[in-house]
Chain A
Amino acid sequence: MKFEAKAFLLVIGVVAFMFLGTYFTMIVPLTDPALYTPTKDAKPYTTLEAKGKKIYEREGCVYCHTQQVRNLLEETQRYGMGEEETFKRFGIRTLIQAPPSQPGEYVYDQPHLLGTRRVGPDLARVGGKYDNTWHLNHFRDPRSTSPGSLMPAYTWLYDKAGQPTGEAVALVAYIQKLGTNYRWREEGVEQARALQSKRAPAVPAQQAVPPTTTQEGAQ
């Protein structure tokens, strides 16, 4: 009795193989607590942030922005805080790497927005990088803040006078939330300060690292 002559044999074989692969690659991860336990700092979305996430989904932001810092040195560097930024904001000239994204940071995401393509940069750690005004200007006219950007201008999130609507405000709230389920900016600065005071306790923070040994241009 061969499957070429018996359709039900073929159907049984197809279903059995499909179940096998699905069991190991989908059902086993679904039952893995590491994948659904929130991180220590994870908080559910506020109403405003949840509204912003809906707008992010509606406008298809996910097609051009990923939300995952991959476990690669170049990504933890690129999406971390550069030397310029840490110097300007905290008086320490050091690169604070962004931690790779952890499963526990995503547990409140339904749907997930991990994304697959970066026409624009990854946004998993963007919260806190820019202020709200920067984002509001950026959504209305992306090339005013980021020359060369390919992002559409989201003019329909603004009224006729160019003032942001509630939708624009919600979207900014959501963007500022991204990456804060892990207090990496705060912890990174604390660690950098501790390291610095250990090395040279008597010197003021700004001068701890001689400018000649730093690298410029980190973004």
Chain B
Amino acid sequence: MNDTAVIHEDTSARWFIYTAVTFFLVTILIGILMATRFVFPEFLGGIAAISNGRIRPIHTNGVLFGWLLAANMGLAYFVVPRLCGTKLFSEKLGLATLGLWVVIILGAVVTLASGDTQAKEYLELDTTLDILVTIAWVMFSVNMFVTIARRSKERQQMYVSLWYLMGTLIWTAVLWIVGNLPVYSGVNDANVNWWFGHNAVGLIFTPMGLAMAYYYIPKSTGNPLYSHKLSIVGFWTIAFLYIWNGAHHIIFGPIPTWLQTVAILFSISLLIPVWTAVSNFYGTLRGKWTQGNYVVKFLVAGTTFYLLTCFQGPMHSLRTVNQIVSKTDWIIGHAHMALFGAFSFFAMAGIYYTLPRILKRPMYSDRLGEWHFWLSFVGFLGFAVSLWIGGFVQGLQWMNYTISFLDTVKAMYPYYLVRLLSAVIMIAAQLLFAFNILKTARGGAQLKPAMV
């Protein structure tokens, strides 16, 4: 995994990262506007384009595609050429992909705010944007596959990050195209929606995030990868097991019982790929937990949140647990642990590792990096724990029909308040992140001598 003498331009990587961080700030501000309305329902009311029902898909799609996927694509433009010992196939194609990606995200904001939606969770974008996403993904895939095909003689044996990346290229394309076909109706439409929705996390963001973790954990700790065999088991079990799980989003719902049971069985077996990957990460991180470096902190915390969120997931699928937590705000906490706590933390670690190497100068401030980590960590815990407690309590209240629904809503007030305050901390942290990147990008003196 040593960098060879190849000179990398990294233009695509750099600009993808800057763009992703910009979209991140915007979409989490939309998130906090929603969270505010859970405490003050009339806040900025009466404007259709920014009502909660319209901005919710902007928040989810924006964070997923505008921030996390774009950030991971940016990191892939950095990682893949290095793992292949060759230059990126085409920086021009990379920048064109970025341009198209920006058009897609801005288009998504405008169309969703105006109420132009396909009304299916994570498949909201209208048909034109769907086609543009497909084109952008093909452009990205061509860049990646050709770079991999041109890998140097010494790199014929591909590293695990490349397996996950190639898997993601295929999974994303198939999920996106099949999920968006306008041919389903009724409960089958719901089933396909969750075939897509579950695997958007399981087969797009999980493998992309793991690809990055498999690269940045050994790189930033200086430890060799703990086990090659575990990574093989982890990869192929993800490839086999994840796709069966969609129906666990509709347990007790109007779909066949056998389909629910199959989804539950496969959900439990997801512990295999998760625990193999996590063992591998912890094994690689051993001895480096207290190194005092925020890049490693993000990776340790990300690994731990990945372990926890993927323990929750299989447990949620069990009928007795599902009965209580499904449809409550517990699930919102769970989703944020996966996408913020785990995969965004991996991406942030990747950005902190990558940017100084692209720009050939250290981060502007390591102290800001430390603050970014701790505020993200504490803010996220407040956010998730309040929703877990509140959601669980509400789920139990729903089990007694003599408690009116409105009373169960009123009981959520203190939890929504803590969630809002925690979200403010989370956003403050990301402002530090963006500021640090901006100052690093613009050059000039650092605040303190670098640790990286």
Report the separation of the CA atoms of residues A14 and B175 in the bound assembly, to the nearest whole angstrom: 13
Q: Taking CB as reference atom, which chain A residue is nearest B332?
A: A117
Give which listed residue, B52, B244, B401, contacts A60 with CB less than 8 A: B52
Against B, the Cβ 8 Å flags (1 = close, 0 = not) of A1-27 are 001110100110111011011101110
Name the 3 nearest CB pairs between A and B, nearest first. A60-B53, A21-B243, A70-B252
Q: Which residues between 26 and 51 of chain A lie within 8 Å of chain B, taking CB atoms?
A: 26, 29-30, 32, 34-36
Chain A-chain B contacts (Cβ-Cβ < 8 Å), number: 233
Report the separation of the CA atoms of residues A120 and B409 in the bound assembly, to the nearest whole angstrom: 8
B: residues with CB less than 8 A from A are: 37-38, 41-42, 45-46, 48, 51-54, 56-57, 115-121, 145, 148-149, 156-158, 163, 166-167, 170-171, 174, 178, 182, 184-193, 195, 203, 236, 239-244, 246-247, 249-256, 259, 262-263, 266, 323, 326-329, 331-332, 398-402, 404-407, 409-410
When A22-B195, A29-B188, A107-B185 are in contact, do A152 and B120 touch as well, CB less than 8 Å? Answer: no
A108 at the interface (CB under 8 A from B): yes
A112 at the interface (CB under 8 A from B): yes
When A35-B256, A150-B409 are in contact, do A107 and B186 touch as well, CB less than 8 Å? Answer: yes
Report the separation of the CA atoms of residues A30 and B166 in the bound assembly, to the nearest whole angstrom: 29
Report the separation of the CA atoms of residues A74 and B328 in the bound assembly, to the nearest whole angstrom: 15
Would you give the shortest CB distance from B15 to chain A, in whole angstroms?
27
Chain B residues positioned under 8 Å from A64 (CB to CB): 52-53
Report the separation of the CA atoms of residues A25 and B266 in the bound assembly, to the nearest whole angstrom: 11
Most buried by A among B52, B57, B332: B52
Q: Which residues between 90 and 126 of chain A lie within 8 Å of chain B, taking CB atoms?
A: 100-103, 105-114, 116-121
Q: Are A18 and B328 in contact (CB under 8 A)?
A: no
When A29-B255, A57-B119 are in contact, do A63 and B405 touch as well, CB less than 8 Å? Answer: no
Would you give the shortest CB distance from B36 to chain A, in whole angstroms?
11
A147 at the interface (CB under 8 A from B): yes
Q: Which residues between 59 and 83 of chain A lie within 8 Å of chain B, taking CB atoms?
A: 59-64, 66, 68, 70-72, 74-75, 77-78
Report the separation of the CA atoms of residues A154 and B51 in the bound assembly, to the nearest whole angstrom: 9
A143 at the interface (CB under 8 A from B): yes
Q: Which of A168-176, A201-209, A211-219 contacts B (4 or more CB under 8 A)?
A: A211-219
What bracket does the count of chain A residues touching chain B fall in?
A: 35 or more
A153 at the interface (CB under 8 A from B): yes
Q: Are B259 and A25 in contact (CB under 8 A)?
A: yes
Chain A residues positioned under 8 Å from B251 (CB to CB): 70
Give which listed residue, A11, A22, A109, A219, contacts B170 with CB less than 8 A: A11
Give which listed residue, A13, A57, A153, contacts B236 with CB less than 8 A: A13
Q: Are B327 and A118 in contact (CB under 8 A)?
A: yes
Q: Are B401 and A156 in contact (CB under 8 A)?
A: no
Chain B residues positioned under 8 Å from A63 (CB to CB): 52-53, 56-57, 121
Q: Taking CB as reference atom, which chain B residue is nearest A97?
A: B401
A146 at the interface (CB under 8 A from B): yes
Give which listed residue, A13, A58, A68, contacts B253 with CB less than 8 A: A68
Report the separation of the CA atoms of residues A78 and B171 in the bound assembly, to the nearest whole angstrom: 40
A149 at the interface (CB under 8 A from B): yes
Would you give the shortest CB distance from A12 to chain B, in whole angstroms?
10
Report the separation of the CA atoms of residues A101 and B246 in the bound assembly, to the nearest whole angstrom: 19
Would you give the shortest CB distance from B172 to chain A, in whole angstroms?
11
A148 at the interface (CB under 8 A from B): yes
Q: Are B399 and A109 in contact (CB under 8 A)?
A: no
Q: Are A114 and B244 in contact (CB under 8 A)?
A: no
Q: Are B402 and A218 in contact (CB under 8 A)?
A: yes
When A100-B254, A143-B41 are in contact, do A25 and B186 touch as well, CB less than 8 Å? Answer: no
Give which listed residue, B116, B253, B400, B404, contacts A70 with CB less than 8 A: B253
Would you give the shortest CB distance from B225 to chain A, in whole angstroms?
13
Report the separation of the CA atoms of residues A119 and B38 in the bound assembly, to the nearest whole angstrom: 9
Q: Are A152 and B401 in contact (CB under 8 A)?
A: no
Give which listed residue, B48, B187, B247, B326, contacts A112 with CB less than 8 A: B187
Chain B residues positioned under 8 Å from A20 (CB to CB): 240, 243
Can you list 11 A-B pairs with a CB-CB distance of less than 8 A?
A: A4-B157, A17-B243, A18-B243, A21-B240, A22-B243, A24-B244, A58-B116, A62-B121, A70-B253, A110-B186, A218-B402
Q: Are B37 and A152 in contact (CB under 8 A)?
A: yes
Would you give the shortest CB distance from A156 to chain B, in whole angstroms?
5
When A21-B240, A106-B187, A118-B327 are in contact, do A148 and B410 touch as well, CB less than 8 Å? Answer: yes
Chain B residues positioned under 8 Å from A120 (CB to CB): 405, 409
Chain A residues positioned under 8 Å from B149 (CB to CB): 7
A132 at the interface (CB under 8 A from B): no
Give which listed residue, B156, B192, B323, B401, contacts A26 with CB less than 8 A: B192
Report the separation of the CA atoms of residues A55 and B189 in the bound assembly, to the nearest whole angstrom: 19
Q: Are B250 and A114 in contact (CB under 8 A)?
A: yes
Report the separation of the CA atoms of residues A4 and B225 in the bound assembly, to the nearest whole angstrom: 16
Would you give the shortest CB distance from B124 to chain A, in whole angstroms?
9
Q: Are A74 and B115 in contact (CB under 8 A)?
A: no
Would you give the shortest CB distance from A70 to chain B, in whole angstroms?
4
Chain B residues positioned under 8 Å from A178 (CB to CB): none
When A4-B157, A7-B148, A59-B53 are in contact, do A151 and B163 touch as well, CB less than 8 Å? Answer: no
Give which listed residue, B148, B157, B188, B252, contacts A71 with CB less than 8 A: B252
Chain A residues positioned under 8 Å from B252 (CB to CB): 70-72, 75, 100
Q: Are B187 and A217 in contact (CB under 8 A)?
A: no
Q: Are B48 and A74 in contact (CB under 8 A)?
A: no
Report the separation of the CA atoms of residues A155 and B399 in the bound assembly, to the nearest whole angstrom: 34
Would you give the shortest CB distance from A126 to chain B, in whole angstroms?
11
Chain A residues positioned under 8 Å from B187 (CB to CB): 29, 35, 103, 106, 112, 114
